[in-house]
Structure 1
Amino acid sequence: MTVRVDSNSQLTPEQERVYRLRNAAERDGGTPGGFLELLAAVVADETWRQTPSGVSAEPFSSFAEFIEAKPPFGLGRRVEDVHVLLQMQHPHEAAAEFRSKMENMRSEVRRLLAEDGITGYSEQQRDRDIQAWAALDRSGSWWLAFFVACQVRSQASATPTNGESRAAGTKLSAAEFARRAGTSPERVLRYYKAWEAAHAAGAVAHGADELWPGHEPVGLPPAEDWTLYYSSRRGATTDRGALISAAAEAEGIRPTKALEVAENPTALRAAILADPRTAEAARAALKALTSEEKRSEHLEYVRQVAEEGKAQAASGQLIMLPEQVRAQVSEQLAAVAETPTDPELVSSAYDLVQELVSRAVEADPEAHATEQRARFQTALKATRKSIATIDPARFPDVVDDGLREEISALQEAVNALVASITRHT
């Protein structure tokens, strides 16, 4: 293979693509749309493996070497610069299909670089994460409450008014924070209220409305003071104490008994470990709590779909629901509004809304195609990764008739897929 480098017209097709990729990185600057698209193509068809690493025509030994090699053979960039560009979004990533393409490219580039021992995880990031760990280690739940106070807006208003901090507009609802964190809105709000109670008592200098996402760490109270604001030690006059008292009365026991147990989690733990009956009661209570959190999450989902008129499909794409479907969801919300504490009724409404969303996706050819494409891509990617775990060097030593049959069946399935693609092109 002869490599000519004296002009662009004399480059090989592979080098021409690399040349355009390098120019895109230099030209696009803050909006590297062209660079990201070209990089996706270079990674997808492994152009970088087909490009000679120098005049010797030897292929690149690693993706990192390809990035750092001087033009016209490589990109002539620093690997850390490429990591920065990967963090930027393409202007068209609002479309689910395009976003999937970009995410697949980013994942593959990071995997290739990780094979070279390059993760893009800087020492500055490491120091930041270690400092966050140290803060959590020193302050326990205070750090978690501080983070919630920075990220979550008050329930009083969905959007900031003129008298509120502008930071409120960048915050999330407790429900959205809980969704992203994989927990319940009630748990998030308990942290929020604990922080506000501490501020009211003068234990912390800033209230939640004075904090914003990314706020610099502030002075935190001693870890041992946490239960003064998060638990019921302040008595039944607190929101938490009132809830405990009401639950105790519903069970026919004195509120003071329940409050005393809540104030002594260590004693409760000892009783659970020592007494099977107490342990069984604790398990039943936790099961009921899990059921309640699930009911709350399902109810919030139905309400959000009804109010916003959109829902997230399985592939992650956001579906705008037709008016007819939205009206049906609103009917379900109205039906459960009268008895929102009925878990069976809420669960039934949740299942029906999910079915309505699924029907809306199937009725939209483009959305349906995106969903199918995402499922197929997930299945194929999983299959490819599973096959990649098989060591070709060791496989011949253990292969038998059963494995040969499995390989033949797999080959036939792949051939059938390839044939189906060929027939429709």
Structure 2
Amino acid sequence: MNEIHTPAGNAVLVNALSSSMRSTLNGMESVPGLVRQVIEEGSWRNFTTPRGEQVTHTSFESFVTAKPTRGLGYSIDALVRLIADDDETISLVAEQLGRTVADLQQQSLSAEPIDAVQEPLWRDPSDDLEAASRAEEPSLDLANPVDRDALELRTVGKSGGWVWALKVARNVELSRGEGGQESDRRGAVDGSSVEKVSPAEFARRIGWATPRVMRYYRAWEKGVEKHGLPGFDQLKPGVDVVLPDAKTWAECFTAGRVNPDRAEALVAGAKEAGISVRKVIYAAGSPGAMKAAILADASTAEAARTALLERARNDGELRVALARTIARDPVFRKESAVEARKAERAEYVRHVADEGRVRTPAGQTLELPSKAREKAAKLLAVVDDPQATPEAVAEAYETVQMLTTQIVEADPDVQLREQRTRFSKALSTTAKSIQAIDPDDLAAVADDELRTKLTELQRQVNDLAALVVDEKPTHLRAV
């Protein structure tokens, strides 16, 4: 129920459903779809009867069981049997009644046959001269095919779906202004020279809201693209065309105020996931309800988290937004740092266990002995555990580091290369730092403390140089 319709507009859906149910006691193909629309748009709550009486229901059950024309005149069990092959519609009915689907289905199996409980429904207003005369109160000209379609939608609307979309598509022109309503009604009965009307004007004649008319207009627009329907410029008031299969309707029609581009993406997403299109659109159209479910239910929150991450992998803007949120929030920032360190350490352990090699701090790649490989495999099981704590991963990481140290210390040649590389890196770093000092800047700001530090540094460098020159290189092996 995305918008409030007028009682007369709601009557279109209610009368269409009642008419379809009357047409066959086993249920027409259109009945489940009409039941869905009546529930989705809330038409059952407040509508006008063909005799001009306004009816209000506070429960869906009272709407179903009330005698015509104030309701459908059916038992709940009979209604369930009419929609038995449509799981989505049964779910919607169960939700309205506050019952489970299984309960409804079980009860309907043991109920009396539909013929035994069904009362005669009211006559179709299009066959009732008295009702038809009252339907002309909006000053509709029945010689005009535009007004005839408006009258049918206003009173009965027998088929719904593509039939309704055709009536909108052939009578509505977006570029037409709101003026000249009377001139819009002039023309031949076959519609050959009848002018189309604006969406707002057609909505006024039907008793709908303009956005509701536009939903059917957009559905036809999608049908042109997907099913090769005639374009709007090829349609004339009163002229029928061949329509697609009723099963294609859900692909093109979007209930509620959903942007067409959003609707197309939602339909594609529903098909990919194998989920009902209507359920997906409902979820997208109810952000407040979605947020409440995520906050209240852990499984819903987990589904939302998974979906958000999947989308973020292909959505750069979303990734940036998530990263920015985490970086700005102290709680998220701290947890993110902990998890990042945990992930890095786990990846290191995983790499060592998979490759059977370690890389020393000096950059040497060493093969793991067989016992060390066995131990690394056990550590891999620890870090791959989804429930592993940061402390457990840190311990596994430190154990691998210890294995690396043991391998280095067990081989004198490896230890010598490791020490030599470490000393070389330290000297290179020191040299780069000294080279970065501008002599002129240093001389301009030097004080006694800086001079003392520089003199001490020079002494240490001289001592190390003298040690290397005067002593044998092998002495460097002592740690």
* TM above 0.5: no
TM-score, length basis structure 2: 0.31
Higher relative contact order (CA closer than 8 Å, sequence separation 6+): 2
**Higher-Rg member (1/2):** 2
